[in-house]
Structure 1
Amino acid sequence: MTAYFVTGTDTDAGKTLVASGLLALARRHGLTALGLKPVASGCESTAEGLRNIDALTLQAQSTPTTPYVTINPYTYEPAIAPHLAARRAGEKPTLDALAAHVAEPLAEKRDLTLIEGAGGWRVPLNDDEDLAGLAVHLELPVILVVGLQLGCLNHARLSAEAIRADGLRLAGWVGNLIDPGLSFDEAADEACYRDNLATLERTLDAPCLGIVPRLAVDTPDARARAAADYLTLPTCEELR
């Protein structure tokens, strides 16, 4: 069993797209897979309770099927920072509580387990702890999703430095093209894009697990399967 913590350079960098794509790719190779989203804000009220679209996307790509509460035990309705959403709900999630929640699914020892964070690496969990502390507590290698847009070089390098400063291994990174200004209609756009990727490859000092372009599909399941076409799994030696 191999587990990874998935973080991003910022909110909306594409963590769920990449995580669900990696899970879909694992399934394509006949591997068991599980995606966890321990804390999620921006949830919608349903007949079954609060549900988060990112957590539902991970659930859909997990095999064998896993109950929603296992994937996303802490759900908050406001689309704000998790610690602020929790405070409004009169709750205070802690690293110890999160670690206890993920202990059982991790014990299932699926071929690939991904724990997706919220926002970037330093997003607060409460007034005293960061969500990154869960990865530190579990000693998980980290996959960094880089939202490819203006400013991503700085964000990616700072995130990688913070991950390593916390004593964790950067197992790989994935670029996700989110800048609508990059159309590649001009040769200069293409050259700049390639130069940025070369800089990331040189400075992050970790394997690139793929570059995901803007996808011309809308549903979460279709996007996960489409993203899988542009991704590679972490090293085969680790997935056993």
Structure 2
Amino acid sequence: MNESINSPVYFVTGTDTDVGKTVCCQALLQAANKQQCTTVAYKPIAAGCVETADGLRNHDALVLQKYSNIQVAYELVNPIAFAQPIAPHIAAEQENRPIESVNISHGLEKLKALNSDLILVEGAGGWRLPLNDEQTLSDWVKAHQLPVIIVVGMKLGCLNHAQLTYESIINDGLQVAGWIANQVESDMPYYAQNLAMLKHKIKAPMIAEIPYSHNVNELDLSEYVNINFLFNK
């Protein structure tokens, strides 16, 4: 274990759904692994799972499991799984399986007990993802006072989405540990100008810039990550 890591748990949120949170978690895990850190990842809620002989399995959760160097059972990585690729609170209503924040907390405590150097908690959707009619996933993050990493999907509209997400996290009294520019399009018009504006508006370090790639889950993305933010004292 590396004693210099300031906080071992980071919550990874996105500016929207399908902005590449899992790809960015993969990159962070790979970079930390190369620094001889012990790593594990947690995707407490996943909607859009495939029925297998072993039960429901979600692609993103399997990627997180693959690139964590502490191997744990799938159910510890993704304890709340729904088959339909819809908003989790709607899936929960349809299956009569309410999402309880206490269960999300219990799952995190199980991973904390492993005493790893880094735990990444990947959210679902964006910052204000509903758990039910009253609670959001961001309420849970706030209750645990987790530092947040924002994944910005670099596409038209990202400036607005990124600023609203950043402001919402700050207004919730939480720390934005850093943000990641993830190129979800092969050729975004005026990419450099958009990136420069994000650097100006988000008062947190850009910790990675992930290029657009095919078969991205098979690649080593560690070179695109500035892992030093993990070791800030």
TM-score normalised to structure 1 length = 0.90
Specify which of 23, 43, 46 is matched with residue 40 of structure 1.
46
**Rounded Cα–Cα distance in structure 2 between residues aligned with 1:63 and 1:236:** 17
On the 8 A contact 1:172/1:234 being kept in 2, the answer is no
- The 3-state SS of whatever aligns with 1:45 is strand
Structure 2 Cα separation of the partners of residues 24 and 125 of structure 1: 30
1:237 aligns with 2:227: no
Distance 2:228 2:173 in 1: 19
Aligned to 2:193: 195
- How far apart in 1 are the matches of 2:151 and 2:84? 24
Q: Distance in 1 between matches of 2:135 and 2:128?
A: 9
Deviates more, 1:25-34 or 1:155-164: 25-34
Is residue 2–residue 112 contact of structure 1 (8 Å, CA) maintained in 2? yes
- Measured after TM superposition, the shift of residue 17 of structure 1 is 0.2
Question: Which segment is superposed worse, 96-105 or 7-16?
Answer: 96-105
1:79 to 80, 85, 104: 85
Shift of 1:236: 4.5
Match of 2:148 among 142, 145, 149: 142
User: Could you tell me the percent identity over the aligned residues?
Assistant: 40
Aligned residue among 204, 207, 213 for 2:205:
207
Show structure 1 runs of 4+ deviating over 4 A: none
What SS is found at the alignment partner of 2:181?
strand
Whole-Å Cα distance in 2 between the matches of residues 110 and 59 of structure 1?
Answer: 14
Distance 1:134 1:86 in 2: 17
Query: 1:149 corresponds to which letter in structure 2?
Result: K
Q: Does 1:99 align with 2:97?
A: no
Aligned residue for 2:162, secondary structure, equals helix
User: SS of the residue aligned with 2:199?
Assistant: helix
- Does 1:12 find its partner at 2:6? no
* Mean Cα deviation higher: 124-133 or 228-237: 228-237
Q: What runs of 5+ residues in structure 1 fail to find an aligned partner?
A: 183-188
Measure how far apart 1:107 and its partner are.
2.8
What is the aligned residue count? 227
Does the alignment pair 1:228 with 2:222? yes
CA distance in 2, matches of 1:3, 1:81: 25
Give runs of aligned pairs for residues 24-173 of structure 1, distance below 5 A: 24-173=30-179
- Rounded to whole Å, the distance in 2 between the matches of 1:131 and 1:157 is 19
SS at 1:80's partner residue? Answer: coil
Structure 2 CA distance for aligned equivalents of residues 103 and 59 of structure 1: 17
Query: Which of 172, 175, 182 is the matching residue for 1:176?
Result: 182
TM-score of the superposed pair, with normalisation by structure 2: 0.93
Using the TM superposition, give the Cα deviation of residue 108 of structure 1 relative to its aligned residue in structure 2, in angstroms: 2.1
Question: RMSD in angstroms over aligned alpha carbons?
Answer: 1.5
The CA deviation at 1:145 is 0.1
- What is the rounded CA distance, in whole Å, between the counterparts of 1:202 and 1:109 in structure 2? 36
C-alpha contact (below 8 Å) 2:207/2:229 kept by paired residues: no
